Structure formats: C-alpha cells, structure tokens
Chain A
Amino acid sequence: MATAQQQDTGLVQRGLLLLGGMTALVIVVLLIVLRNPDAPPKSVAARSEVVVPVFVAPAPFPAAVDWRLLVHLSKQLPSAPGWEVRYNAAVTLARRGSLKTPWPVLHDMLDEEQQLRNYRVMLKNGQMVSNQEDATRTVLNALAAVAEWHKKQDQNPKAAVTISGDLLLVYQDVDRLAQSGNTLVRVHADRVRQTFLRK
C-alpha cells in the first residue's frame, strides 16, 4: 500500500514537471507570436525628425531666407543623391592605393552622424528611424579603406605621397572616431591611426 502511494506521488511529480515545462514553452511561443512587429529593432536608433525653420517671410527674398539656418540644414540632410555609388568607388580607389582617392568622399563616410542620416528607413507605422548597423558598417568600411591605402603606400616607397589638406581632414576624422562612443569604431579607428603618414 505504502509502495503504491510512493509510486503515485512520483507520477504526480513528473506530471507537474511536464506541465511546468509545457507552460514555459507556451509562454515563449506566445511572446514570439504576439510581440509588436513594428517595434524598432535594437540596431535601429530612433532619430528626431529634421525640422529646420529656414523659410520665414517677414521680408522679401533674399532677406526672407535665414542663410545661417540654410547652412545648418546641410548638416541635417542625407548626403547628395548618388552617395552609395560615390562611397563604393572611393573605397575601391583607396583599397587600390590610388593617388586619385577622393578624400572628401571618405571624409563624408567617416562622419557617424551623417551616416545615421543616410541610412534612414521608414517602419510600417510610418516612423522614420536610422539603421545604426548599416551606418556603423559604412564608417568601418571607410576606416579599413584608409588603412589599406596607407599600407599600399608603404609597399610602394617610390610613390611620392604628399599629405594634402583633404587627407589631413580624414586624419582628423579618424582622431575623432578614436574617441567615439561606439567601441567597435573606437578600436578600429585607433588601429588605423597607427598606419598614418604623419609623424
């Protein structure tokens, strides 16, 4: 009689354990099914809308335009159309070690804020957000290209390379990225600085 009771208790315990497991599984499945599909993914940073009161009309043109704000507006807009083409061409030229590498394009690529403006996507609910992952990848690509360009110059000591003003700007960008809040960018930028031509 006592043995039968012990066996029954074992059966009940195992049954309860199974029930607990099933409940946990159901909760996980429900969480997956019912999660909000429109919620921005973790890699997507919400950005404020670009609102610049450039045009006010207290006076006729050109006084109607606040030109200071217009300059500011250029820092709130994505890069000019065709930036995807320019970026890829610039990276390819830099990787080849070309002396015709367009440093202003790489300067644009190394601007983290600019990349957040370039990689903006609209969610299903109409909210505009920046894709942090793509933006960071662009900055890292540019950093890698800058490092590759310098390595190519090292391999070709005959090439007389001068540090132009545009290249100096890129150096400043990399210096700034070496202080970035993004650890990955910071580490890469620090490594790239070791390849620079400046003493």
Chain B
Amino acid sequence: MTPPSGRFIAQLFLVPGMIVLVAVLIILGINYLFIGGYTPEYFLGKLDSDNADIRWRGASDLAQHIKRPESKHLKADAVFALDLADRLRTALDELDQTEHALAAKIAKLPQAEQEKEWARLTPKKKRDYVEFLAAALGDFYVPVGVPLLCDIVKREEAPDPLSNTMRRRRAIWALSNLGAHVQNVPRELSVEQQAKVIQQLQDELAAPQSERRSDARTALHYLDKTKVPAHEPGLVLVDHVLADCAKSQDRFLRVQVAMAFNFWDGDRTEETLVRLARDDGFGTLIRVAEGD
C-alpha cells in the first residue's frame, strides 16, 4: 500500500479550486460586460419586481453596495435618491393604511385576542421595506430623504406603538447618517460631482408642484443655502423637527436627537441642546427587542 504523496493531496484541492475560480471569473465577466453591474436602473428594477424574492435580493444588493467607498457616483445620484424617496412615500402610505385597517378590524375583539391577531396579521414585510428604504436614503450625499424621514420621526401615534417607536428611532439614525454625508460633500465629492448634483436638483425644481419637487427643494437648501434660503415657505427644516422630537416621552429618542444635532445645524439647535443638557429623564425608556 502506497501512502498518498503531498503532490497528490494538493492536486485533490487545487484542480477543483481552479475549476471553480475560472467559472466564477466567467460569470463575473459576463455580468460586467453584458448586464452592466449595479446601476440605479438595476436596483429600481429589482425593487419594483412582483416577485418578493427578487425584491429582497435587490434590497440586499443595494444595502451592501451603497455603503462601499467606490459607490460615490450612486450616493451622489439625486435622481436615484428621489426615485427611492417616491417608493418610500408609497410604501409608507400603504403601511399606514394597512395598519389602520387591521386595527379597525380587530378593535372589536377582546384585548388578549387583539394582540394575538395583530401578531398574526401584522404587515411585517411592509414594515421592513419601509425601514430598508428609510435607511437607504440616509446613505446618500443628497438629502432628498429629509422630508420623509422627518415625517416618520414626527409620527407620535400609530396603531402599533412598538414598531412605530422602532421606526422613529431608525429614522433619526438615518437622518444622522444623512447629515454626516452632507457634511462630507465638500471633502468627498469633486467640484464637478457637486455641480452635477445641484444641476439634477434644479432640473427637478422645474417640474410642476409635487412632493418630489418639494424633496428636491429641501435637499437643495441643505446643499446650497444661497439657492434656497431657510425662510422660503414649505421647506422641511431638520433642526425644527428634532427640536419638537426632543420633547418626546421616549428617552432613547431624546438621546438620539442630541446625537443627531452633531450633523444638523439651524436656529433651534443650540436652545434645544441646552434644554436636553438639563434633561431629568422624564417619560419612559421603551425597550424594543429585535423581532417585537
């Protein structure tokens, strides 16, 4: 009996490894040459798919891809950000309607059964989709997500208080991310890229009155205050929303507000921070575990 030689053992792993490597390279090459990689159209196409699996694959791809340093062009694409904001607005409205309809449906049941029914019928996927889109808007250099994120943050009442609490906290987190990205625009985007973003937003302003146009206007204000000054009506000012949110009964939300002011300046920032620096811990510390 001859023991296997070292060369033989190496071949056992090396040959299949080479075959797999070549196959992966061929697939990547085809993907790069013919499919065109990760473009806004690719992501939007996936997110709009009727097939839930494809939708989630697209969401997963976007969540991973947009955080990469080499995805600057994607993060600085104002039209793509506005397209995502449109989808978030629709998803948020649908979630709101579904939750209210569900709450009305189970209102007549006894309390214990209400909770069971809510847990059974709760629109978890719609909630996850809203939270995904909200988080994604926080990854852009273009703050078109400000009005929608602020809208989520302002919602005190909802049929499902726990998920609403979680959604508000995540929205503030996304706002902080967004603020940090906006602060980094002069450092991380070239002059040409900055000019392109401004031009894209100004093109949107030429469109008829719509929520999309309003999102673009607010974004333009935060990128270039000379083009849209703060006193113009209809602007959503983050410091004003955070200042209102600083009165929330949710203590953790107030902690987040204090942090978010690191990234959003305005006429109400200082007074709100001074008030928060005297916070006596009023309200509740709502603990929401993952999966609630």
Q: Let me know if B274 is at the binding interface, CB within 8 A.
A: yes
- When distances are taken between beta carbons in the complex, the residues of chain B under 8 Å from A83 are 281
- Bound complex: CA A10 to CA B278 (Å): 77
A93 within 8 Å of B by Cβ? yes
Chain B residue with minimal CB distance to A10? Answer: B3
- Contact (Cβ within 8 A) A85 B281: yes
Complex contacts, A88 vs chain B, CB 8 Å:
255, 258-259, 276
Across the A-B interface, give the 6 residue pairs with the lowest CB-CB distance, nearest first.
A81-B281, A82-B281, A88-B258, A89-B276, A85-B279, A82-B279
Ordered by A's residue number, 16 sampled pairs between the chains whose C-beta atoms are within 8 Å are A7-B2, A8-B1, A14-B3, A81-B281, A82-B281, A82-B282, A83-B281, A84-B252, A85-B281, A86-B277, A86-B279, A88-B259, A91-B258, A92-B262, A93-B270, A102-B278
A189 part of interface (Cβ distance < 8 Å): no
Instruction: State the Cβ distance, A57 to closest chain B Cβ, in Å.
Output: 31
> Is the CB–CB distance between B258 and A80 below 8 Å?
no
B239 to chain A, nearest CB (A): 12
Assess whether B273 is in contact with A84, with CB atoms less than 8 Å apart.
Answer: no
A117 sits at the interface (CB 8 A): no
> Is A170 at the interface (CB under 8 A from chain B)?
no
Question: Interface size for chain A: under 10, 10 to 19, 20 to 34, or 35 or more residues?
Answer: 20 to 34
Q: How many A-B residue pairs have CB under 8 A?
A: 68
Task: Tell me the interface secondary structure of chain A in the complex.
Answer: helix
B212 beta carbon closer than 8 Å to chain A: no
Contact for B274 among A8, A14, A93, A95, CB less than 8 A = A93
Q: Hey, which bits of chain A sit against chain B, CB under 8 A?
A: 7-8, 10-11, 14, 80-86, 88-93, 95-96, 98, 100, 102, 105
Residue of B nearest to A95 (CB): B262
Which residue on B lies nearest to A82, using beta carbons?
B281
Q: Are A85 and B276 in contact (CB under 8 A)?
A: yes
A7 to B3, CA, bound (A): 7
In the assembled complex, the Cα of A81 lies from the Cα of B279 at a distance in Å of: 8
Interface: B251 (CB within 8 A): yes
